[in-house]
Amino acid sequence: MKKFSFAGAPLILIPLISGTWLFSQGDTGKETTDREHAVRVFIDCDHCDMNYIREQIPYVNYVRDVKEAQVYVLETRESTGSGGRKYTYIFLGQEEFLGLNDTLEYACRPDDSTDYIRTWRTQMLKMGLMRYVARTPLYSEVKIDPSGNVVQQEVTDRWNNWVFELDAEPNFDGEESYREFFLRSSASAIRITHDWKLEFDFDNRYTRTKYSYEDTLYTSETNYYGFDALVVKSLGQHWSAGFRTDLVSSTYSNTKFGVDFFPSLEYNVFPYSRSTHRQLRILYGVGGAFNIYNDSTIFDKIRENLWMHQLQVAYQVVEKWGSVNVSLEGSNYFHDFSKNRIELGGFITMRVLKGLSVRIRGRVARIHDQLSLQKSELSEADILLQLTELETSYNVSGEVGVTYTFGSIYNNIVNPRFGNGRRWF
């Protein structure tokens, strides 16, 4: 572990009339260094506290366009088996630093505070930027000081990598003619190692709604109980095998009791070790289900056994030009191939030109497998309040966003006064 601090006296930023800044070490007698010669850095991060980063790392120039940067920094994140997150930082040199690249990782625990995580995420940025700062005149403004607290010790995990979580979320909303009570509770047990991935989740959702209209009181209730289990075994850098099983009871889906079991095999074209940067996963599974319905279905079934198979393809790439996340899923029942479903969804962000970025998010589904639809006529309340699943042949959603920014390429100043725009924080 390394700790970075400024050498000697506290660092003082002195504004000049020309608009540049000088770095001063107080009365140490050292020659000041012009920040104009600092490394130009572009940080590609969706959930970074940039104000904090600018305060903690003032010896670089932050630019708002990747093409103006000498160093491009990309942060990606993944959930860890303990419930925390692993942050991966990719440093790519540009211009005179071309070919000077690096990758660093930092993992936090689920109980780490926001401030602690923010501090160490910024610490990783400091350490990764040092090799570039060392090649500029501002190298003299930074001191690397080992803390001396690192000791060799054996780590013993009495929980054997198991992580447990309990959650309860009651919610109440009301007005003169409307009342709603919502309760969600869940429990999970997860164990993730390099060889195994075990996830067990229980989820319960209950909603009671009362509303009055023209002196008439209407009351509705919905219930959902679900238990999911996922067991996966690693078979090297490209293959995985496992199964998923679900137990469910849902008034919305007209299911009194349902259970399914799906053994599956997955192949990743790229090594799993590069999953934060690039993935192309292909999964195929064959399984069966047994369902008991609350009411007769539109196919006159009160219970049935079903067999089906499914194919999933997921592609993800994160580069300095943007990111792509696309998934395609298809499934159908063996007893009737016309009962099928195909879904395509994705999220794409692209930097098209200097200052111009485009983001596209969408999902489209062709639906012909609603076997549990209730046969009896639905009430007006069921339809308007979406208390029961309705028949549909498709589902579409999406959004498109375009952002264009122009002006000064530098963005070094922190000023929190009066909050951020219309937001107080």
**Is residue 42 within 8 Å of residue 71, measured between CB atoms?**
yes
Distance of alpha carbon 162 from alpha carbon 157, whole angstroms: 9
Asked if 83 and 163 count as a contact pair (C-beta separation under 8 A), the reply is yes
pLDDT digits (tens, 9 = 90+) for 4-27: 333 333 333 333 323 333 333 333
Tens-digit pLDDT profile for residues 162-177: 888 899 999 988 887 8
In sequence order, the 6+-apart residues with CB closer than 8 A to the CB of 115 are: none
How crowded is the C-beta side of 154, counted as CA atoms within 13 Å?
2
Q: Tell me, what DSSP letter sits at residue 420?
A: B
Q: What is the pLDDT averaged over residues 127-147?
A: 79
Instruction: List, in sequence order, the alpha helices (H) in 262-358.
Output: none
Pairing of strands 2-5, 216-234: unpaired
Task: Judge whether 123 and 4 are in contact, CB under 8 Å.
Answer: yes
Tell whether the model's pLDDT for residue 421 goes beyond 60.
Answer: no
Q: Which residue has the tokens 């999911």?
A: 228
Question: Once rounded to an integer, what is the mean pLDDT over residues 39-61?
Answer: 84
CA distance linking residue 28 with residue 94, whole number of Å:
34
User: Residue 249 above 80 pLDDT?
Assistant: yes
The residue written with tokens 């006064």 in the block is: 417
What is the structure's pLDDT at 184? 92
Residues in the chain: 425
Contact 220, 208 (CB under 8 A): yes
- The pTM (predicted TM-score) of the whole model is 0.63
Alpha-carbon distance 101 to 128, whole Å? 9
Cα dist from 414 to 39, 50, 52, 57, 125, whole Å: 18, 9, 8, 12, 18
- Quote the distance between the C-alpha of residue 54 and its chain's center: 24
- Around Cβ 61, how many Cβ atoms within 10 Å? 20
Residue 384 to residue 362: CA distance in whole angstroms? 25
